[in-house]
């Protein structure tokens, strides 16, 4: 779908108004916000600038770029892929169509991690814990864990080389010292982890979902067995690999019966919050 063209040299407010109407027309609920994000990114300004200077005339080149990006969004390309990044836990992570876009619900994993780890940082330094971020994608979970709790020894694992390159770029730009490793879940991880974080594919292809997910990598989104294939596989691996009383923090849909599988593999439930399940090896 192509954006309707504006007259040459519109002012900022004209473009925002026209773009918002078009986005509303294709059923995008965040139309006004998306229009502002697209234009702010095009002008290399923040959204506050748009409102403070809404009568500034756009150049023809700015209009061309903004319209091209708007056309992508009208076709339901996720806004994060259009601008190339997504906020997660207060930090900016680069994303590409080869990586899943970080979701706000995944931030609960970091919140739980804070609550479960000792508050005494000297204790963590004396007895450092190994953390494996399985299926890291853009690296948002493992990198955030390292930046929030620097004492952790963090390894980012993914089967996709492209995802690992994106994760490496994010680790470098955010100043996180982490190890990266290509691995099918824990298969190539040579250590005994104390903590496993995992936002694995858990969507059943038959579920109703937004059109935007059509642009995300299938390998990072869908799983067989009602979406549980990889989660069950990881739980089974973690049974023999995780340290005693080690923690496994998973993201899954509440309709999925992760708890039964976990208990069958000697895990106790420490906490459940929305989409996040925290398990402890017993």
CA–CA dist 242, 83 (Å, integer):
38
Q: Over the chain (282 residues), what is each successive 10-residue block's mean pLDDT?
A: 60 96 96 97 95 93 96 97 97 96 96 85 74 97 97 96 97 98 97 97 89 91 91 95 94 85 92 93 92
Sheet architecture: strand order including 153-158: 179-182, 153-158, 130-134, 195-198, 247-251, 276-281, 267-273
pLDDT of residue 274: 87
pLDDT of residue 100: 95
Per the listing, tokens 């955010």 go with 174
pLDDT of residue 1: 46
Q: Which fold has domain 97-281?
A: Rossmann fold (3.40.50)
> What is the DSSP-derived secondary structure letter of residue 211?
G
CA–CA dist 230, 224 (Å, integer):
8
> Can you give the pTM of this predicted structure?
0.90
pLDDT of residue 121: 67
For residue 198, what are its two tokens?
A: 């995992």
For residue 203, what are its two tokens?
A: 């969507």
pLDDT of residue 4: 56
**Phi, psi values for residue 174, rounded to 5°:** -95, -5
Q: Where in the chain is the domain with CATH 3.40.50.150?
A: 97-281
Mutual angle of helices 12-25 and 60-74, in 10-degree steps = 10
Q: Where in the chain is the domain with CATH 1.10.8.10?
A: 12-75
Structurally, at CATH architecture level, domain 12-75 sits in Orthogonal Bundle (1.10)
Mutual angle of helices 12-25 and 31-43, in 10-degree steps = 140
């Amino acid at each position: 779908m192509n954006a309707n063209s504006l007259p040459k040299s519109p002012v900022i407010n004209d473009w925002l108004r026209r773009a918002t109407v078009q986005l509303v027309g294709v059923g995008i609920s965040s139309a006004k916000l998306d229009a502002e994000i697209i234009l702010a990114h095009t002008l290399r300004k923040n959204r506050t600038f748009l409102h403070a200077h809404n009568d500034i005339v756009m150049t023809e080149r700015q209009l061309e770029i903004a319209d091209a990006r708007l056309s992508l969004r009208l076709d339901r390309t996720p806004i994060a892929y259009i601008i190339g990044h997504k906020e997660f836990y207060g930090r900016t992570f680069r994303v590409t169509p080869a990586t899943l876009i970080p979701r706000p619900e995944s931030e609960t994993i970091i919140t739980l991690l804070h609550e479960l780890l000792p508050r005494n940082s000297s204790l963590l330094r004396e007895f450092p814990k190994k953390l494996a971020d399985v299926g890291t994608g853009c690296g948002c979970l493992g990198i955030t864990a390292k930046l929030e709790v620097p004492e952790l020894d963090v390894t980012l694992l993914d089967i996709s080389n492209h995802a690992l390159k994106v994760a490496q770029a994010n680790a470098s730009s955010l100043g996180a010292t982490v190890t990266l490793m290509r691995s099918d879940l824990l298969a190539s991880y040579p250590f005994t982890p104390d903590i496993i974080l995992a936002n694995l594919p858990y969507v059943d292809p038959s579920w109703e979902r937004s059109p935007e997910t059509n642009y995300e990598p299938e390998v990072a989104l869908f799983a067989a067995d009602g979406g549980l294939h990889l989660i069950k596989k990881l739980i089974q691996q973690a049974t023999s690999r995780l340290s005693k009383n080690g923690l496994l923090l998973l993201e899954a849909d509440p309709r999925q019966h992760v708890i039964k599988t976990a208990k069958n593999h000697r895990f106790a439930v420490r906490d459940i919050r929305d989409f996040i399940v925290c398990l402890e090896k017993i």
